[in-house]
Amino acid sequence: MQISVTIRGEDILLKTHACGDLRSEHIGQEVTLAGWVHRRRDHGGLIFIDLRDSRGLAQVVFDPEDAPDAHAAARNVRGEYVLSVTGEVVARRGSTENPNMPTGEIEVRAASVEVLNAARTPPFAINEETEVEELLRLRYRYLDLRRERMQRNMRIRHRTVAYIRRFLHERDFIEIETPILTNSTPEGARDYLVPSRIQHGSFYALPQSPQQYKQLLMVAGFERYFQIARCFRDEDLRADRQPDFTQLDLEMSFATEEDILALFEELFTGLVREVRPDAKLVTPFPRMTYAESMRRFGTDKPDLRFGMELCDVSDLVASSEFGVFSNAVKSGGVVEGICVPGGAEMSRKQVDSLTAFVQGYGAKGLVSIALLGEGAVDTLTIEDVKSPVAKYLSEALVRGVAEKMEAKRGDLLLFVAGEGGKPKLDAGSAQRVKPALDGLRREVASRLELADPNTLHYVFITEFPLVEWSDEENRWDALHHLFVAPFDEDLPLFETDPAAIRSRAYDAVCNGQELGSGSVRIHQREMQERVLRLLGISDEDAQARFGHMLEAFEFGAPPHAGFAPGIDRIVAQLAGEEDIREVIAFPKTKSGADPMTGAPSPVTDEQLEVLGIRVVEEREEP
C-alpha cells in the first residue's frame, strides 16, 4: 500500500500500512500511518497517540529527544484530528505491552507528523460507546458511523450481502436491476409518488417491491433471478420499519414451495455460520401452517425460543359462575390463556401492569389465577388458588383448566376473554384475544428473560389464507398480494367460503420477527382473473392496472415461485441489534425525516411550476 498526496506543493506519502494491521513482524520497518486521533495521552515529555483507521488502532509515541518537531506538533493535536505519521515500528518494552489491543506488542516511534486536518471537538464521544440521544447521532451520522458499534454493524451488513451474492451466484442465480421509477399499484401499502414533468398530473411510484418485474423476468426466461433491492412504503414507522428498506428479492421458475424453502434454509444456515458462528441455530428449520401458528401462538410470527403456548379453555369455562368467562363463550366468543411457569410469585402490582398491557391490545381485562401449595395439580383445592375472582371459581374448574394447560403449582395462569359478535376493533371482542395473548406472551417472556438472545430460532409459516374480509372496504382483500397462487384443491371454495382458501404463500420468521415472505405465483391468465374478480376488481380495472401481467401470462409464462426477506432485519438479528436503524448507514427518524440533510424539505415555486404542482395550505379542522 502506497498512498500519497500533494500538500503545499510537495508530494507526501500518506500511508504505507494500516494502523490496525501492524504486528511484531513489522518491527524494524519504517512505516507511514494515516488516520484519526483516537486518544491522546500527554505526559509533558512523552506524548502517546492512539491512531485509528478503518483497520484498528496503533500507538504512536512522540519523544522530544527523538523528534522535537514531531513532538511539538503532537502537543497541539486533539481528538479526531487527521494525521499522517512516519516512524519506525518498535517492540514495546516488556511491561508496557498492552495485551488488550491487537497491536499491543508494538508501537510506532514518530519521526515526523503531518496534520492533514484539524477537527472540532465532536458533539459526542467517538472513542467510547456511550449512549447518545438518537436524534443527535442522526444529525451527525458521519461521526456516529465512525464509532466502533456502527463500524462493526456496517461490516456485518457488507459480509451478509456479500455472502448472499456469492451463494446465489454459485447456484446460477443472476442479479438484475429493476426500475425505481415505476407505476403505482393502489393495493397494499401507500406509495411514494414522483411527479412526471413531461406529463403533468401523472406520477411514478417508487416500488413497494419489485414484485411484478420479477415475475416478468420469469416470463422472460431467466429462470433464476435475484436482486438486493431497495423498496419503499409510505406507512408509519417502527423499530423494524423504515420508509425505504432493502430486500433480497428472489424468483425462480419451475420451483415449488419446497425448492424455495430448502434454498432459504440453506442460505440462512450458511449465513449464520459465516457471520455469527457463535449463535445457536435450531436446525432443521421447523415448518408450521398459519392455522397452527395462530392456534398455538396467536400470531403468524411466533417466537419459538420459549413456551407459554396459548390454550383455549372456552369449553371448560362455558358454564362457570364467573360471568366474564361464561358470557364470552355464550356469545360465541372465546376464553384463552397462557401459563407462566413460576409466575405465581408475581406481585399484585406486576399482574396489574400486565392487565394494563393487554388492554393496550384491546382486551377488556386479564384474569389471573396463581396456583400455590405443594403436590400434583389434581390435589389442588380452592385454598391453593390466589385470584381476584377466586370466589367464582370451583375446584373442578381450576383443576380442569390447570390440567389442560399443563400447569404446575407455582405457575400463574393468565386469561383473556372476548365476546363474539362484536366488531373486530371493539374492546373485549373475540378477535382481540389472540393479539392480546401474543403480546402478553412476548411481554412476559421479556420480563422473565425467557428468550435466549444468542439463539436464532427460524421457522417457516405456510398455508396462509388467500384473502381476508375487509370491513372498511366491504370486500375481500389479498392477505399477501394479488399474485399468490391458491391451493388447487381449495378452488371450489372461491364460490362458497373464500376465507378458507389456502394460498401457497410462506413467511420466514425468526425470534418472533417476520423476515420475509414469498409464494408460488399465479402464472395463468385465467387463474389471475379469477383472483382479481374475487377481490372485487372489475375486468376493466384489472385490464387497466394489470393488463401487462395478464397479457404476459398468455405468452408462455412458466410456473414460478419466489421469496423476499428483508436485509435490514436479517442484518439486525445477526448484529444482535433490536432496531434496524442500527444497521442502516443513514436511516430516518420515526417521522420520516433525515436530521442530517433535513429531508424532506419544501421546494421552490419554480420546481413546483415545472411539475405542474400546487401545494395546498393545511387548514385547521373547525
Partner RNA sequence: GGCCGCGUGGUGUAGUGGUUUAACACGCCUCCCUGUCAAGGAGGAGAUCGGCGGUUCGAGUCCGCUCGCGGUCGCCA
Of 300 and 529, nearer to RNA (C-beta) is 300
Residue of 152, 238, 273, 548 that binds RNA (CB under 7 A) = 238
Residue of 187, 223, 244, 426 that binds RNA (CB under 7 A) = 187
Cα–Cα distances in angstroms (integers) from residue 316 to residues 127, 333, 340, in the given order: 61, 13, 19
Residue 251's closest CA among 548, 549, 521? Answer: 521
Please report whether residue 98 would count as binding RNA according to CB under 7 A: yes
Stretch that binds RNA, among 99-107, 164-172, 373-381, 488-496 (CB under 7 A): 99-107
What angle, 0 to 180 degrees and rounded to 10, lies between the N-to-C axes of helices 433-448 and 290-297?
Answer: 60
Show the CA angle centred on residue 378, arms to residues 374 and 382, nearest 5°: 70
Stretch that binds RNA, among 234-242, 252-260, 329-337, 607-615 (CB under 7 A): 234-242
| Main-chain phi, psi angles of 421, to 5 degrees | 80, -5
| Cell numbers found for residue 428 | 373485549
Residue of 8, 43, 349, 614 that binds RNA (CB under 7 A) = 43
Amino acid at 516: G
Of 74 and 317, nearer to RNA (C-beta) is 74
Of 237 and 382, nearer to RNA (C-beta) is 237
DSSP for 348-367, please give it.
Answer: HHHHHHHHHHHHTTT-S--E
Residue of 28, 590, 600, 605 that binds RNA (CB under 7 A) = 590
Site for RNA in 564-583 (CB under 7 A): 579
Residue pair 129/150 in contact by the 8 Å Cβ criterion: no
From the CB of 377, what's the least distance to RNA, in Å? 32
Residue of 110, 478, 501, 532 that binds RNA (CB under 7 A) = 478
Residue of 324, 479, 485, 537 that binds RNA (CB under 7 A) = 479
Stretch that binds RNA, among 89-97, 147-155, 161-169, 380-388 (CB under 7 A): 89-97
Residue of 56, 86, 107, 322 that binds RNA (CB under 7 A) = 107
3-state SS, residue 258: helix
Strands 287-289 and 311-312: unpaired
| Cell numbers found for residue 206 | 417508487
From the CB of 69, what's the least distance to RNA, in Å? 15
| Main-chain phi, psi angles of 373, to 5 degrees | 80, -170
Of 88 and 274, nearer to RNA (C-beta) is 88
Please report whether residue 601 would count as binding RNA according to CB under 7 A: no
Residue of 482, 515, 537, 574 that binds RNA (CB under 7 A) = 482
Residues 6+ apart with CB under 8 A from 11: 4, 5
| Cell numbers found for residue 574 | 445477526
Residue of 264, 361, 506, 563 that binds RNA (CB under 7 A) = 361
Amino acid at 510: C
340 pairs with which residues across the strands? Answer: 412
Residue of 54, 96, 353, 607 that binds RNA (CB under 7 A) = 96
Residue of 24, 27, 55, 64 that binds RNA (CB under 7 A) = 64
Please report whether residue 158 would count as binding RNA according to CB under 7 A: no
From the CB of 404, what's the least distance to RNA, in Å? 27
Please report whether residue 474 would count as binding RNA according to CB under 7 A: no
From the CB of 468, what's the least distance to RNA, in Å? 8
Residue pair 291/297 in contact by the 8 Å Cβ criterion: no
Q: Is the peptide bond before 284 cis (omega within 30 degrees of 0)?
A: yes
From the CB of 320, what's the least distance to RNA, in Å? 28
Stretch that binds RNA, among 2-10, 131-139, 302-310, 311-319 (CB under 7 A): 131-139
Stretch that binds RNA, among 56-64, 161-169, 222-230, 263-271 (CB under 7 A): 56-64
Stretch that binds RNA, among 323-331, 338-346, 548-556, 589-597 (CB under 7 A): 589-597
Residues 6+ apart with CB under 8 A from 573: 456, 510, 511, 513, 515
Residue of 18, 79, 112, 286 that binds RNA (CB under 7 A) = 79
Q: Is 282 left (phi over 0), alpha (psi -120 to 50) or beta?
A: beta
Which one-letter DSSP state was computed for residue 139?
H
| Cell numbers found for residue 600 | 424532506
From the CB of 480, what's the least distance to RNA, in Å? 4
Residue of 16, 24, 55, 124 that binds RNA (CB under 7 A) = 124
Residue of 88, 595, 608, 613 that binds RNA (CB under 7 A) = 595
From the CB of 9, what's the least distance to RNA, in Å? 30
CA torsion angle 372 373 378 379 (round to 10): -140
Please report whether residue 362 would count as binding RNA according to CB under 7 A: yes
Number of residues that bind RNA (CB under 7 A): 69
Stretch that binds RNA, among 27-35, 218-226, 286-294, 473-481 (CB under 7 A): 473-481
Sign of the dihedral through C-alpha 64, 66, 67, 73: negative
Please report whether residue 608 would count as binding RNA according to CB under 7 A: no
Please report whether residue 541 would count as binding RNA according to CB under 7 A: no
3-state SS, residue 169: helix
As to burial, measured by CB atoms within 10 angstroms (0-12 exposed, 13-18 middle, 19+ buried), residue 619 is exposed
Amino acid at 360: G
Please report whether residue 125 would count as binding RNA according to CB under 7 A: yes
Stretch that binds RNA, among 154-162, 230-238, 266-274, 383-391 (CB under 7 A): 230-238
Residue of 10, 11, 65, 378 that binds RNA (CB under 7 A) = 65
Strands 82-91 and 106-117: antiparallel
Of 97 and 274, nearer to RNA (C-beta) is 97
Half-sphere exposure of 530 (CA within 13 A, CB side): 18
What is the 3-state composition of the chain as percent helix, strand, coil, each rounded to the nearest 5? 35, 25, 40
Please report whether residue 620 would count as binding RNA according to CB under 7 A: no
Residue pair 362/336 in contact by the 8 Å Cβ criterion: no
As to burial, measured by CB atoms within 10 angstroms (0-12 exposed, 13-18 middle, 19+ buried), residue 403 is middle
What angle, 0 to 180 degrees and rounded to 10, lies between the N-to-C axes of helices 348-359 and 433-448?
Answer: 140
| Main-chain phi, psi angles of 41, to 5 degrees | -120, 110
Residue of 360, 453, 558, 576 that binds RNA (CB under 7 A) = 360
Please report whether residue 13 would count as binding RNA according to CB under 7 A: no
Binding site for RNA (CB under 7 A): 39, 41-46, 48, 50, 59, 61, 63-65, 78-79, 92-93, 95-98, 100-101, 104, 107, 121, 123-125, 128, 130-136, 187-189, 208-209, 211, 233, 235-239, 241, 360-362, 425, 435, 439, 477-482, 579, 589-591, 593, 595
